[in-house]
Amino acid sequence: SPPHLVSVPADLPPSYGGSASRDVLGFEVDSINSVQFSNHTGYSHWKGQVLTADELHVLYEGIKLNNVHHYDYVLTGYTRDTSFLEMVVDIVQELKRANPNLVYVCDPVLGDHGSMYVPQNLYPVYKNKVVPVADIITPNQFEAELLTGKNISTEKDAVEVMDLLHAMGPDTVVITSSDLPSRLGDRFLVSLGSQRHVRPDGSRTTQRVRIEVPKVDAVFVGTGDLFAAMLLAWTHHYPNDLKTACEKTFSVMHHVIQRTISYAHDLAGPGRRPSPPQLELRMVQSKADIEDPAIVTEATVIP
């Protein structure tokens, strides 16, 4: 049977890249929207409701009552509420007791570029409760530094930060973006990944990779959700090969973003900056790339 996944994203229609892309890749997805908004918050206005921790618990209880709470994966993204986040941890721990092989993928959304954009009281919850139960995490550089208390100035620093994150719990860490200089020039940014494996004899080995990613001069909403969903899917298909999983994931991102930016510029016209509606991720149009991406982003193994 296909892998079964419960996803608790900040589902911000219509530009949410996570659930649809996982469906396409053969996962049975139960989505629980942590918000139900008219549109994502990249627009000037939005209306809707925010799911509370109690409401999340009620939904989970309904799933349990029908005995359909048997999951292979849990994926979570943005939230602004500590009680909601703590409820997620309780649910993940219960699901892991039922299935010790369950993989929890967490995008620890805290902030970027040196500042937090969630309430500060979420930070200790992520550090002390969420990250320790996560198996795969996808922080950016700021979030990785915040969670470990260590700054990243060099690739060596980044490796040490990823090792510190491993020590906190997760076996797979991908720093989705960093300020490190790219070997390909200033039109690229550097992402890094690290994956721990346990050999049959019980010893550990770690694969680390570096990815050079082309920069795009536009602001998209939903790319973090899409990235975490793609990494979940491709690490499922390549559980012991982070290099290939990252190449697939970053290549999907490249194709979706390039298709989106090309479409947005065509709509906006020459010399005009695309608007939020024009920058909605072109997910449906990218179905073939999501299913079988041409590899355009190669990962380099860090010795």
In the predicted structure, residue 37 carries a pLDDT above the cut 70: yes
In the predicted structure, residue 11 carries a pLDDT above the cut 60: no
Q: What distance in Å separates the CA atoms of residue 89 and residue 187, rounded to the nearest whole number? A: 39
* pLDDT at position 19: 53
* pLDDT at position 17: 47
In the chain, what percentage of residues exceed pLDDT 70? Answer: 95
Higher pLDDT, 19 or 241: 241
Pairing status of strand 188-198 against strand 172-178? antiparallel
Determine the average pLDDT of the residues in 224-229. Answer: 94
Q: Active-site residue among 107, 225, 266, 292?
A: 225
Structure tokens at 271: 């010399």
Residues 49 and 35 sit within 8 Å (Cβ to Cβ): yes
Q: Which amino acid makes up residue 156? A: K
pLDDT tens digits for range 234-275: 999 999 999 999 999 999 999 999 999 999 999 999 999 999
Known active-site residue 217: no
Structure tokens at 70: 């048997």
* pLDDT at position 14: 37
Q: What distance in Å separates the CA atoms of residue 30 and residue 52, rounded to the nearest whole number? A: 18
C-alpha separations of 223 from 10, 204, 257 in Å: 12, 32, 9
In the predicted structure, residue 217 carries a pLDDT above the cut 80: yes
212: containing domain: 4-302
In the predicted structure, residue 218 carries a pLDDT above the cut 60: yes
Q: What distance in Å separates the CA atoms of residue 63 and residue 102, rounded to the nearest whole number? A: 17
In the predicted structure, residue 13 carries a pLDDT above the cut 50: no
In the predicted structure, residue 33 carries a pLDDT above the cut 90: no
Q: Per the structure, how many domains does the chain have?
A: 1
* pLDDT at position 15: 37
Q: Give pTM, 2 decimals.
A: 0.93
CATH number for position 149: 3.40.1190.20
Neighbours of 14 (CB within 10 A): 12
DSSP 292: S
pLDDT bucket at 144, cuts 50 / 70 / 90: very high
Buried/exposed 92-102: b ≥16 CB within 10 Å, e otherwise = beebbeeeeeb
pLDDT bucket at 23, cuts 50 / 70 / 90: low
